[in-house]
Structure 1
Amino acid sequence: MRKPNILYIMCDQFRYDCIRALGNQEIFTPNIDRLVKRGLVFENAYSTCPVCVPARYTVRTGREPALTGCYQNEMPQAMDGLPEEMQDRCGDYLATAMRKEGYYTFGIGKFHTVPEFKEDLGYDLQLNTEELWECPEDRANDAYYSFIRKEHPEYNHIEQLHGERTNMYYVPQVSPLPAELTVESFVADRVIEQLKTVKDKPYFGFVSFIGPHPPCAPPVPFNRMYNPDSIANPLRGKPEIDFMDEQILWMNYLIWADELNDFAARNVKSRYYGEITYIDTCIGRILDAVEAREDSENTLICFFSDHGDHLGDHHAWQKESYFEQSCHIPFLISWPAGSAEWKLEGGRKERQLVCLTDLFGIATQAAGNPQIRDGHSILNVLAGKERERETLFACYGRPGTPQFKTMIRQGDWKYIYMANGGKEQLFHLIEDPEELVLYNIREEQIMKQMRKRNLDFCGREGLLSAKDKMKMKSFSYKERPRFRIHQFDLSGGIHDFGMN
């Protein structure tokens, strides 16, 4: 049998609990439901550094932040004497590795590389469609903007094609473009073109949608698909638990979400759901194109997200915490022709711990040359050839700073350490799936085990600065000065409010 085609479909800020086939009866996702029926659902999948830039470097390298040097939305920078260049310390990017295995590779969508707007990631065809443009050159190099400028100049006057940001970041909106001309539709169209033309080689395709990342601006009619009065209010815990992570208070203010009430939260979520259902239709068109090919059964598809969004749960907005709404992600994999060997029967749910690092190994193993790197051999676990991962480690924030924090998932337990204040949280996710109760007193033995594992985890290169000799480094709790982020059209010279 020829090597399988491999198609990775990634969304941005897509919560784990927003798929109808997996229990959310408020939302409609018929095409993602098709993927659920086509293969496996991993119920315990995580983004180990739940924010855009580091998550994407993890996907393309199979490495955790300790090696990528990207611990938050920042320019990657190696620590602890590791090589300066990303690929020197991490190895080839995924697209390059797949090309070496004889694949035609294409990547279309949001890549969020830094500091370069359009870093060469190794694809035969790479079309960047980014959410922000820092300068006129970035805008000119964006594949989607180039399409609008050349093919539909009647929309060229729009400053922010994906919706207004700044103070409108969490304000419900409608797309300024019709459904057939949004960036999501553009990405789907370009992917379908590739699926129709690639014949002589197996393909590795990476599809990266910007949505449902805010601003939540679905096109007509998806903007009015969901009634906010039919959506549940946010889940909030005790402030002394929810606000233990200073990042939440700081981030809420940063993106103009510190005064949103229950109605505003339901209203935002109605458009967030609308954006998901709209993206679902775009995914459906891609799946139709896959199924129209003779080799559709020999196509491995994986659907996942870089992280989630609190959407008001735990008094929080955005991501960058280790509450489930932020770091727990959807993770679906299917491969009909490989089902017998790898036990990928459709509609089955798996409880093993998986994360974004595992994607590198899934693709390269399916191609015949497994490179597991910092991940785990998920396919071998499914085939009964290896034991599943017992413990999952995660970190966010540059080691040695107050923003550094870690998360450990082991069994039904989740442990979180925050250097700012040296604070700890311990949740039992079966007894307390909503993470409302701390177990740090009643379960002292579990806490001792987690502390030791945390200290051992930070003993590797790239994380050494998180330790202070034989204990975790901590700082006196301090809240950072708060300010608003201005996300105007910088490429058009717009930097602040006013008539500039």
Structure 2
Amino acid sequence: MLSVYEAGTMRSASPNVLFVMTDQQRFDTIRALGNSRIYTPNIDRLVGRGVSFTNAYSADPICIPARHTIRTGCEAVTTGYLGNEKRDATHLEDRCGPFLARAMGARGYRTFLVGKYHAHPRDIDLGYDTRLSVEAYRADTGHEVKTTARQGAMVHLPQQNTLPRDSNYEAWMTDRAVECIERESEEPFFGLVSYEPPHPPFAPSAPFDRMYDPDRLSNPVKGDPDVDHMDEKIPAQNDHFWTTRDGGIDDTIVRVIKAYYYGMISEVDRHIGRLIDAVEGREDGDNTLVCFFSDHGELLGDHRGWEKSSFFESSCRVPFLVSWPAELPRGERRDDLVTLTDLFGIATTAAGEPNLRDGVDVLGVIRGDAEPRERLFGYHRTPRLPPNFTAMVREEDWKYVFMRNGGREQLFDLSTDPNELDECSDAFPEKTAALRAALVEKLTAEGQTEFVENGRLRRAPYQQIDMGRLVRKPYPEAPEDVLAELE
């Protein structure tokens, strides 16, 4: 069998490329990769089908910035999106080059997107031949995405999706994606199937809402409160999402929430099984590259926090599975540092015209033809708030985190402290200084003068952050005023 890399030529039939994405799924939610408490038989199939990267990161662990790194192959300091800014992104192709779907179309692929894309404006041209999202679902079915899901104060409370499990949004998405996969055409396909779960509201359909006994699930990981909340954005987010600033939710309630979060993952896993069946039902199924990943994780009560926007592992480390039976080994696990930025290069390299942009050659790393990443950088901030830029450097087993708000620093040795409970920057000052210097060098090279100046990281006096409370619809002045909606 001719390898895609042999003699620098492509096989006669270019591979199909399918990206399957979830939203806010932690790295530790796959049974085949060590979580015996969760049921993920179809994601486990992908683990067996290819290569699992166990040190994969969302380098900007927030919704919109993470998705921009996927569609551009560029880091957040290149795209200019370090936070969830709802601003026009049409200029990104001028800055970064064609979006991934457009790049794959130029390489002879038919392209489709089914599900969430999270870019502005809503009608932005992302380069797909076919795009099917929320609006199409509403037009087809007349349903809202989740009829019982409540926002604001209830966003993290366990709920149920009362729509039948085989006709809710995720089921409809899967139906449309299967049609796109099974369609006969002369061209290979590039597709992105982007599921919303397990992003809150935590509202699985029956019977997935009663699939997990909370008493059999683990409690959240908690360390020294001063370390857990050294990054002021965590307590600020807690308040924003209607918990106390200290994240003080009883562990019993946290386990119930985790049960519903797991239920959503198992429900999506069922749909992913249909995607895999559709791929394997094709004559060229083995010549179909499948990547499974998430845009970021979810603290889920760990470190007394919720949501993302943190460089604790629960928030920024993600699943990252790459399978291509015709070319890559099966059932292999690797601990190389990879990130969502690398997905652009995976797709374009498989298509025969590599364009790595800010990523590394992951397919070459698997085959031993390229060098793995030695050091990974990450960044995030929330716009329009006091200086809250946060950066991460991950090198070997070390993780360094810098917080501009207060000029705070953290260092963790993940080989001995995988739960990040032992902040050890004082114990290892030379390692802290070396990783700090690496961050300064990187930001200086990128021209990020907002964050680095004269060879030093820019610090700001510590301020408590007020993000306000999340309210999708204003509460009435008087309780009875809401009844006007019934008239």
| TM-score normalised by length of structure 1 | 0.90
2:193 to 191, 203, 207: 207
Per the alignment, residue 286 of structure 1 pairs with 275
The CA deviation string for residues 319-353 of structure 1, in whole angstroms up to 9 with x for no partner, is 000000000000000001112xxxxx111100110
- The alpha carbon displacement at 1:442 in A equals 1.5
Aligned equivalent of 2:4: none
Deviations 1:82-110 (A, max 9, x none): xx921111100000000000000000110
1:271 aligns to 2:282 (yes or no): no
- Listed one character per residue, the Cα deviations across residues 78-136 of structure 1 (whole Å, up to 9, x for unaligned) are 9xxxxx9211111000000000000000001101102x12311000001123xxxxxxx
Summarize the alignment of residues 51-130 of structure 1 with structure 2, pairs less than 5 Å apart: 51-75=62-86, 85-114=91-120, 116-129=121-134
In structure 2, distance between residues paired with 1:401 and 1:446 = 29
Partner in structure 2 of residue 395 of structure 1 = 379
1:138 corresponds to: none
Amino acid at match of 1:496: Y
| Cα-to-partner distance string for 1:417-443 (whole Å, 9 max, x where unaligned) | 000000000000001001011111121
Tell me how far 1:76 sits from its aligned partner. 5.1
Match of 1:453 in 2: 438
Structure 1 residue 368 displacement after superposition: 0.3
Match of 1:136 in 2: none
CA-to-aligned-CA distance 1:233-273 (integer Å, 9 cap, x gap): 11111101001010000001101132421111111110000
Three-state SS of the structure 1 residue aligned to 2:218 is: coil
Partner residue, 1:132: none
Say if 2:482 is the partner of 1:496: no
Q: Structure 2 vs 1, CA of residues 226 and 249 (structure 1 numbering), >3 Å: closer, same or farther?
A: same
SS of 2:166 mapped into structure 1: helix
Aligned equivalent of 1:196? 182
Q: Using the alignment, how far apart are the partners of 2:285 and 2:132 within structure 1?
A: 24
Give the aligned length. Answer: 464
1:429 has 2:408 as partner: no
The Cα shift of 1:394 comes to: 0.7
Question: Is contact 1:118-1:128 (8 Å) kept?
Answer: no
Mapped to 2, the partners of 1:11 and 1:143 lie a distance apart of 19
In the TM superposition, what whole-angstrom CA distance separates every residue of 1:209-256 from its partner, at most 9, and x where no partner exists?
000000111101111111111111111111010010100000011011
Residue 384 (structure 1) aligns with: 368
* Mapped pair 1:41 → 2:27: no
- Deviation for aligned residue 1:398: 6.5
User: Contact 2:145–2:168 at 8 Å: present in 1 too?
Assistant: no
| Cα separation, 2, equivalents of 1:75 and 1:461 | 24
Equivalent of 2:339, from 327, 352, 355? 355
1:145: how far off?
A: 1.7
Residue 238 of structure 1 corresponds to which residue in structure 2?
A: 224
Which is further off, 317-326 or 462-471? 462-471
CA distance in 2, matches of 1:166, 1:112: 20
AA matched with 2:131:
Q
From 464, 472, 479, the equivalent of 2:449 is 464
Give SS of 1:465's match: coil
Which residue identity is paired with 1:101? R
Task: Write the letter of the residue equivalent to 1:88.
Answer: D
Structure 2 segments unaligned to the other structure (5+ residues): 1-11
Query: Which residue does 2:173 correspond to in 1?
Result: 187
Distance 2:146 2:202 in 1: 13
What is the rounded CA distance, in whole Å, between the counterparts of 1:463 and 1:65 in structure 2? 11
Contact (CA 8 Å) 1:170, 1:257: kept in 2 or not? no
Question: What is the percent sequence identity of the aligned residues?
Answer: 44
Give the alignment partner of residue 483 of structure 1, picking from 458, 468, 480: 468
Q: Which moved more, 1:400-409 or 1:327-336?
A: 400-409
User: Unaligned regions of 5+ residues in structure 1, if any?
Assistant: 79-83, 130-141, 150-155, 340-344, 489-494
Question: Aligned letter for 1:211?
Answer: P
Q: Report the residue type matching 1:472 in the other structure.
A: L
How many Å separate the matches in 2 of 1:395 and 1:434? Answer: 21
Q: Give the alignment partner of residue 299 of structure 1, picking from 288, 298, 302.
A: 288
Deviation digits for residues 259-298 of structure 1, max 9, x if unmatched?
Answer: 4211111111100000000000000011111111111010
Equivalent residue, structure 1, for 2:234: 248
Contact 2:146 2:163 in 1 (8 A): no
Change (3 A) 1:294 1:160: closer
Contact 1:107 1:123 in 2 (8 A): yes
Q: Quick one: structure 1 residues 85 and 162, their matched pair in 2 at CA, closer, same or farther if it must change by over 3 Å?
A: farther
> Take 2:435 and 2:461, find their aligned partners in 1: how far apart are those partners?
22
The whole-number CA distance in structure 2 between the counterparts of 1:77 and 1:439 is 41
* 2:409 aligned counterpart, secondary structure: strand
Equivalent residues in 2 for 1:309-348, closer than 5 Å:
309-339=298-328, 345-348=329-332
TM-aligned CA distance change 1:353 to 1:477, over 3 Å = same
> CA offsets per residue over residues 7-58 of structure 1, 9 Å max, x none?
0000000000000001101100000000000000001000000010000000
Give SS of 1:185's match.
helix
Equivalent of 2:394 in 409, 415, 433: 409
Alpha-carbon RMSD: 1.7
Q: Which amino acid is the alignment partner of residue 75 of structure 2?
A: E
Question: Hey, what's the Cα distance between the residues in 2 that align with 1:251 and 1:22?
Answer: 30
Please show how residues 147-158 of structure 1 align to structure 2 within 5 Å: 147-149=140-142, 156=143
Matched residues in 2 for 1:335 and 1:217: separation? 33
